[in-house]
Amino acid sequence: MSNDLPAVRTAGATDAAGIAAEFIGVTQRFGTFTAVDDIDLRIPEGKLTTLLGPSGCGKTTSLRMLAGYTRPTSGTIRIHGVDSTTLPPEKRGLGMVFQSYALFPHLTVAENVGYGLKLRKMSTKDIQRRVTETLDLVGLAHLGASKPKKLSGGQQQRVALARAIAIRPRLLLLDEPLSNLDARLRVQMRAELRRIQAETGLTVVLVTHDQDEALEMSDLMVLMRGGKIMQTGAPREVFARPANRFVADFLGYENFLTDQSKTFVTVRPEHLAVGADDTGDALRLDATVVSTAFRGVDLLVTLDAVDGAGETVRLLADVRAGDGAVLTPGTRTTVSAGGAHLVPLHDSGKE
Ligand SMILES: Nc1ncnc2c1ncn2[C@@H]1O[C@H](COP(=O)(O)OP(=O)(O)O)[C@@H](O)[C@H]1O
Ligand SMILES: [Mg+2]
């Protein structure tokens, strides 16, 4: 080959700065089925990145390719600037925690956490120090001598996390690690994981189908659908400006309509006012109440309205419960929203 080939995207030192891992045109096919479809993604160093999307959209497959358990059909995976596409998992310096984390039942908590260090032939003294440090980090220093079955689900999950962290992985990959926990514990563990990530400065890639989890935990959020990346950005950015209808829908926007200026927009239920209100009139439509649902603090009002394109649209407004006393089904009213809350969308189609 000659030297004057066009420049391909190489991982030069400056190019790779701050990037822990990179997917470049990565595709994964299973037979004729494309599970991951030509994705490009940069995972920032020292941050928490989430892969978010509905079941089957290719999150786990992407993570498995990053870990080296599955080889991409095409494309390149770089880890810290090095083409690692065909590198076996044990050479990638990764820690992983899956949804169904398996602790070794016959080993103590401390032995579980030290397991990977022993494999790496670390000295007993160093293992002890590292295990104590790591158990401290996850708040389990007092349980080192216990067997896993004596622990609660949340504690076991922390041990799994500690075991993955103990080896000081260059990348920590977490596949729905909280989904086996009950709702309250799951919310606690989000904050806990976030704290651990911040304290250690670890690069974390977390897979989840839970938008609240992703919004709360991510530095960078990657929304996937059907093997493709729909949008990448900081949570506030993506939440305020969903790129398309799918993302908006997934993040709870609910209302999709054409406004007076013929722009296809979406607006969140809590930003849609019902009846006379001072929320602004960038959007103002006559509407008829279909039903209401009392939720304690708030009231969800379902309405039908004719939008700026002359289409009848079903809308959902989330108003304060006290405001909704007269909103019986059939009531004619208006819905309105301020311009700041109308998010223009390019694709009006649901598919
Ligand atoms: N080994 C495999 N063989 C065939 N199909 C697979 C395999 N692994 C995953 N898939 C399919 O690829 C799609 C994406 O799967 P996955 O990455 O596990 O989704 P997610 O983690 O987002 O729920 C699904 O339709 C799944 O059935
Ligand atoms: Mg999965």
The pLDDT tens digits for 38-75 are 999 999 999 999 999 999 999 999 999 999 999 999 99
Give the pLDDT confidence score for residue 16 in this predicted structure.
56
Query: In the predicted model, is pLDDT for residue 13 greater than 70?
Result: no
Closest ligand to the CA of 226: 1
Q: Is the CB of 30 under 6 A from ligand 1?
A: yes
Long-range (24+ apart) CB contacts under 8 A made by 70-76 are: 70/28, 72/26, 72/27, 72/28, 72/36, 73/27, 73/28, 73/29, 74/25, 74/26, 74/27, 75/23, 75/24, 75/25, 75/26, 75/27, 75/38, 75/39, 76/22, 76/23, 76/24, 76/25, 76/26
Give the pLDDT confidence score for residue 102 in this predicted structure.
82
Distance 236 CA to ligand 2 centre (A): 24
Residues 6 or more apart in contact with residue 107 via CB below 8 angstroms: 115, 147, 148
Atom of ligand 1 nearest to the CA of 64: 17
Query: In the predicted model, is pLDDT for residue 98 greater than 90?
Result: no
Q: Is the CB of 208 under 6 A from ligand 1?
A: no
Distance 164 CA to ligand 2 centre (A): 19
Amino acid code (one letter) for 322 = G
- Alpha-carbon distances of 93 from 138, 234, 244, 331, rounded to whole Å: 21, 26, 36, 63
> Using CA of residue 7, residue 8, residue 11, residue 14, what is the dihedral sign?
positive
Confidence grade of residue 1 (pLDDT, cut at 50, 70, 90): very low
**Residue of 109 and 296 predicted with greater confidence:** 109
**pLDDT tens readout for residues 194-205:** 998 998 899 999
Residue 30 φ then ψ, to 5°: -115, 105
From CA 161, how far away is CA 101, in angstroms rounded?
A: 9
> Using CA of residue 196, residue 197, residue 199, residue 203, what is the dihedral sign?
positive
Give the pLDDT confidence score for residue 279 in this predicted structure.
61
pLDDT, mean of residues 147-170: 91
Protein residue whose Cα sits closest to atom 6 of ligand 1: 30
Share of residues in the chain with pLDDT > 90 (%): 71
Q: Which tokens hold the place of 11?
A: 């991982």
Distance 150 CA to ligand 2 centre (A): 28
Share of residues in the chain with pLDDT > 70 (%): 91
Give the pLDDT confidence score for residue 320 in this predicted structure.
87
pLDDT, mean of residues 94-117: 89
Q: What is the mean pLDDT of the chain?
A: 89
**Residue of 11 and 343 predicted with greater confidence:** 343
**pLDDT tens readout for residues 300-324:** 999 999 999 999 999 999 998 876 5
Which domains, from first to last, does the chain contain?
A: 19-240 (3.40.50.300), 255-344 (2.40.50.100)
**Residue of 26 and 260 predicted with greater confidence:** 26
Helix axes 109-119, 153-166, angle to 10 degrees: 20
Give the pLDDT confidence score for residue 118 in this predicted structure.
93
Residues 6 or more apart in contact with residue 158 via CB below 8 angstroms: 138, 139, 140, 189, 192
Give the pLDDT confidence score for residue 349 in this predicted structure.
53
Query: In the predicted model, is pLDDT for residue 173 greater than 50?
Result: yes
**Residue of 2 and 158 predicted with greater confidence:** 158
The residue assigned the tokens 């870990």 is: 67
Please answer whether residues 222 and 50 qualify as being in contact, where contact means their C-beta atoms are separated by less than 8 angstroms: yes
pLDDT, mean of residues 244-265: 92
Closest ligand to the CA of 59: 1
pLDDT, mean of residues 136-162: 92
Please choose from 33, 50, 175, 179 the residue to mutate so as to test ligand 1's pocket, defined by most ligand atoms within 8 A of CB: 33
**pLDDT tens readout for residues 189-230:** 899 889 989 988 999 999 999 999 999 999 999 999 999 999
Please answer whether residues 117 and 110 qualify as being in contact, where contact means their C-beta atoms are separated by less than 8 angstroms: no
Query: In the predicted model, is pLDDT for residue 157 greater than 90?
Result: no
Give the pLDDT confidence score for residue 149 in this predicted structure.
94
Strands (E), the chain: 19-30, 33-44, 48-52, 74-79, 82-83, 94-97, 171-175, 204-208, 220-225, 228-233, 255-258, 264-267, 273-274, 283-294, 298-306, 312-320, 332-337, 343-344
Q: Is the CB of 61 under 6 A from ligand 1?
A: yes
Confidence grade of residue 2 (pLDDT, cut at 50, 70, 90): very low
Bridge-based pairing of strands 171-175 and 264-267 is: unpaired
Distance 9 CA to ligand 2 centre (A): 30
Please answer whether residues 20 and 193 qualify as being in contact, where contact means their C-beta atoms are separated by less than 8 angstroms: no
Give the pLDDT confidence score for residue 5 in this predicted structure.
40
pLDDT, mean of residues 271-288: 83
pLDDT, mean of residues 246-267: 92
pLDDT, mean of residues 81-85: 95
